[in-house]
Chain A
């Protein structure tokens, strides 16, 4: 018996006796320092060239769609935050809009403007380098919603609270800083040789394949198709706002980078217009008396001193800013079957209390008529759609999220096959995969 050659020793038994080169199988991920999501790429390498790849997902699966079926309609809002954890506002409004469509209700004008500007703030799913710019915008989001990540700001039929005072000025200031950062990034990257080497002509996907894989958003616009849900099927107030849809022709990483950079400017334009034209003005308190403490208010009610009591404003905790009765009316649908009453009414009158309980109790709550509805919105990565089926009860029978990240991941093997190993990471980065909505 012949002694094993060094080659056989290294490659294992049955590797052939000098029958030519063999491809190397490399698993990248699921936890890899250069990847910003949990995903596994099983790559087949010939030297440094990728000749085949199998993408494996599901490491972040946490049964979002199943969880939605066990609670009321508003209970799913916190779950939608976690779908796309860099733009949770878009998910909130996307889901709420689908349920509103199912109910057949239309939100208030002011709420539409808030929705449009808030969604644009959520659209900045920028690259890691621009963490500084993201910080400016997170502060705005924190101002509006009270949280940075787990915001749960949208509600079926409206929003949690009105915009805080001075929000427009703060936004304009933040945009000024953001534009400076964007300019800085342009100077650093757009003509940078090291950057271009990994971007131009890499990760190319043709127009036909992009459409066949149902890829939407920046990746579709990077092959020259100017499809944007905000323009094609406008929701909220997008048909009244001016913005452009930036497109590129090449379909490579560089084209995606250019499209994404241009889109951030458009998002800022949209927000500026929305904030300039938002209706509503200052909140008018409808009673000229001094606000009183909630406990004193309840005591008065118990003692039967109810005359005119409903008109007396209450000193609310600062945490409830934007939820006062007058603000509540501006941003929420006037429909008792859908929207919780303002806190003053819930604490101060028996009707409000009953209304509150009727919406919170199990078996009551929001009950859309039996039917189904699909509502698409433009997410940061493409069309985000919610398909909701109702059986007439207070729980959604089925909630399906069409994740904008899944189609590009399904096509990732087409983008990286034929490229070098080192191109895998920038290509993956240009897709901007978000594990939360990919795996749900």
Chain B
């Protein structure tokens, strides 16, 4: 059975949408079920996604046709060393409640990747032990990869707020 069909069978309505564009199996899951799906993907013997290859986000603020929908998508790329297959999981979140449960307990690498997503997109991860900025400095204002952050905006490079 394909990975997507298996996820749909097991999690039912929690799997909001699936597609297979260009051969990348992708599933959009509900936020409440995210940790359960991730844990299942990691621990189930038939899936065995033991590597969290990548965790990032996309800001859909200016995407044609999606301006009014949920603004952010947090994207998880999973890989299984045992079965040599991949899966992309996505969770959609609104701008006024940008919170996602943290996956640090499942994969230690999620610590830094979630810090980067918080830094760049302003998405918070509940349960993260140490949600600091990763690439920018603490005094930086805003989240640079959001679509409404102008590319030419300059900020003073360093110095605590006086």
Contacts and interface: CB of A to CB of B under 8 A. Distances in A.
Contacts, number: 95
A27 interface: no
Nearest to A69: B151
B53 A383 contact: yes
A373 B21 contact: yes
A64 to B, nearest CB: 11
A57 B22 CA distance: 34
A33 interface: no
A426 to B, nearest CB: 23
A29 to B, nearest CB: 15
Interface string A52-90: 000001100101011101100000000000000000000
B5 interface: no
B107 A212 contact: yes
Contact of A212 (B86, B109, B137): B109
Contacts of A400: 54, 56, 75
A439 interface: yes
Contacts of B144: 63, 66
A439 B135 contact: yes
B160 interface: no
Contacts of B149: 66
B151 A67 contact: yes
B63 A391 contact: yes
B54 A385 contact: yes
B22 A104 contact: yes
Nearest to A55: B112
B77 A232 contact: no
A419 B84 CA distance: 35
A212 B136 contact: no
Contacts of B92: none
A440 B107 CA distance: 23
A334 B54 CA distance: 33
B145 A66 contact: yes
15 contacts: A58-B133, A65-B145, A211-B50, A213-B107, A213-B108, A213-B109, A214-B107, A372-B21, A373-B22, A385-B54, A389-B58, A391-B64, A392-B64, A398-B58, A400-B56
4 tightest CB-CB pairs across the interface, nearest first?
A58-B135, A410-B112, A214-B109, A402-B54
Given A63-B151, A376-B53, 5 more contacts: A58-B137, A213-B109, A385-B77, A387-B75, A407-B112
